[in-house]
Structure 1
Amino acid sequence: MKLTVVGGGSTYTPELADGFARLRDTLPVDELVLADPAADRLELVGGLARRIFARQGHPGRIVTTSDLDAAVDGADAVLLQLRVGGQAAREQDETWPLSCGCVGQETTGAGGLAKALRTVPVVLDIAERVRRASPGAWIIDFTNPVGIVTRALLGAGHKAVGLCNVAIGLQRRFAALLGVTPAEVHLDHVGLNHLTWETAVRLHGPGGEDVLPRLLSRHGDAVAADLRLPRALLDRLGVVPSYYLRYYYAHDEVVRELRGKPSRAAEVAAMERELLGLYADPALDTKPDLLARRGGAYYSEAAVDLAAALLRDAGSPHQVVNTYNRGTLPFLPDDAVIEVPAALRAGAAPAPLPVAPVDPLHAGLIANVTAYEHLALDAALHGGRDRVFRALLAHPLIGQYDYADALTDQLIAHNREYLAWA
């Protein structure tokens, strides 16, 4: 089996290598190809990945290359983990929206739109090259904003599915609080990427006992602290929102915080410099503890589980993924990309599991952000100032014409080199 990671020079990649090595019985990889145009980073990351494989006795071969076409040729699956513009572009995404009193964040609001505009054309070009070189390959997208990028891939007819680590992180956290194994915990997880709620926490499968009320009663303070939301809010909602909902539920509070501290991009850039220094040590053959602070917890386990299910019916049969709605949420169009548990079978598109009626409190926001994502993808595919303005005006974190106008000008000014139409 050949797997290719596009963006293989990412500091995340040793997490993937560790997962592939540990879980080789679930996903036996013969060849892991790390593709990245940044040759210096790629060799550091690839060297550590090889040492991780060797330490754990994995017989697979790890190849590093800057030749994308060779990297994807013959691949069974291609995992995308790109950051077009690097941490420098992310730094801008997180700062210039604050001038209008709007959240600066890389996956939502104006910053998230900027990332989508930079990313979608690049991802679609890569996907076309995958289709030519390996027509049957699955494309697994971990590149943010996952919902918009996955919708672009599916809309272009690619064999694609989106992946995020939020659900698996919550599953692991809830299992620890409940004193059970993660495999015993099934989440009724509903919404869009980075806009989700856990409406039930079930033991022993999709139809199992809902222990969410017990979880909130006994461990509500711990869950609230993880989310940085008030315990009283969780009690009133009766569900567990994703921590990304804090951008909506406490927007002005978050803006004040962001204005008073260094950006997350600056923190991550410093962390990446330190990580690459560690990766250069030829004696290092395990992922360093610092990597856990980089983000993407349990990313490798989610990726292995998904790829195994898609390729060989070996992963968990039900997993949370990003895929077409297809009537699952009746208040959304069929071609909206939602994030829900789905039934997975090798060779087949994910089939979303039935979802209980969604509380209007959540459904309204889901519908609003879905409309924004539709307009955002239109702007990413076709360009133009008016399309950018319409997407920003539609976003519930912006929504005022003067803010949308000003942010449109700033987005274009800060991203002109990435926008073919600007």
Structure 2
Amino acid sequence: MASSTNGHPSHNGSGRNGNGHRPGRLRDYSAWQLFRKGLSASPEWPRTWHDHDLRNSYDVVIVGGGVHGLATAYYLATNHGITNVAVLEKSYIGSGGSGRNTAIIRSNYLTPEGVRFYDRSVKLYEHLAADLNFNVMFSQRGHMTLAHNDSSLRTMHWRAEVNKVQGVDSSVIGPDEIAKLVPFMDVSPEARYPILGALYHPPGGIIRHDAVVWGYARAADAHGVHIHQKTEVTGIDVEGGKVTGVRTDRGRISAPVVVNCTAGWSSLISDMAGVEMPVQTFPLQAAVTEPVKPFLDTVVVSGTLHTYVSQTDRGELVFGASVDPFASYSIRGSLEFTEGLGGHVLELMPALSKMRLLRQWAGLCDMTPDYSPIMGPTDVDGFYVDVGWGTYGFKAGPVSGEAMADCIAHGRPPEIISAFGIDRFAAGRLVGEKGAAAVGH
């Protein structure tokens, strides 16, 4: 596929990939075919996505093989017919933040811009399994953010009203309703941190993060996108203020468009193109318990206690907290985190004291000054960014991919991400989401 003269990928109305061949179709199996293959001694399952030789050139190169990079590639192909696309991942698909998060989905943010943006993502998640023909296991079980003092309760009322204006289902509920939804919660006035109310958001829930990554990778591959694992970007070439390609540990690739969809390392990738990012990287830790009989139907968040908890379909309790209080690229867990998290969880649900913690892990979060992402073009022509996602990037995967694909195809940001441009920091147009994003999983 050729590139247009303005440096943006041209549309390919034929639906063919860069080799001139029609992209492959996703293979559908009937229940009987699946059953037969499952009983076969050596079933020959088709590859979910394929290995390809690295081409000398692509129309678009996406750095980062997580949900944002794969979703961008998928929507470039499906919405705009741009299929001569490479997704480069230095490790394996989903090895970064997409595989290290707690997979909570919601749209009950604080600013109108944020609410509209994340609500679109929830809408895309609701029919993503059908779109990708892949079960992503989205469970809309509700999301509850607790208020332990008058100030927090005022913020919950504020968020609820902003949500309602944007058409998002959110409301403030009292302790009695909280007790019905979460019977194991200590809502008594004698609790160390009394619960005065909560922002309840029924559309929120949890999803299987690995399935989302695999589904997007499979669907993008079927449309002709090349996914290159174990391919590290070592440099980005810029000439005359325009991107000309990327250098990798497997060779150089010419490309008029390069998209930074990395987490944790986003500022380092942008530095390669000479674009400075107002981003700091912090570790975020999480932990999971042994599986028990399902009893927690809703996601519970406490900003005061810096913790959140949900239960998977397998019965494990997933715990998380706020980012570590220091900038670092470390993804090691710490005993200090485990002790603090355990104590805070037991403040909410004392009955969990006998449960055993099985494992803990950490991921890297790129935090911006206003807790909102940085999306769209930069001062370097052809270099786009989709970064700065802090602790809330996975829930934005579908809408980010859709919006970035539109931005690349048309050379300008669509309205839904216009407020998230990098120029907002110099202009003082911050999109302050700390009140809903600091621990608001």
TM-score (norm 2): 0.27
Q: Which has the higher strand share?
A: 2
Higher relative contact order (CA 8 A, sep 6+): 2
Q: Computing the radius of gyration over CA atoms, which structure comes out larger, 1 or 2?
A: 2
Question: What TM-score do the two structures reach when normalised by structure 1?
Answer: 0.28
Higher percent of residues as helix: 1
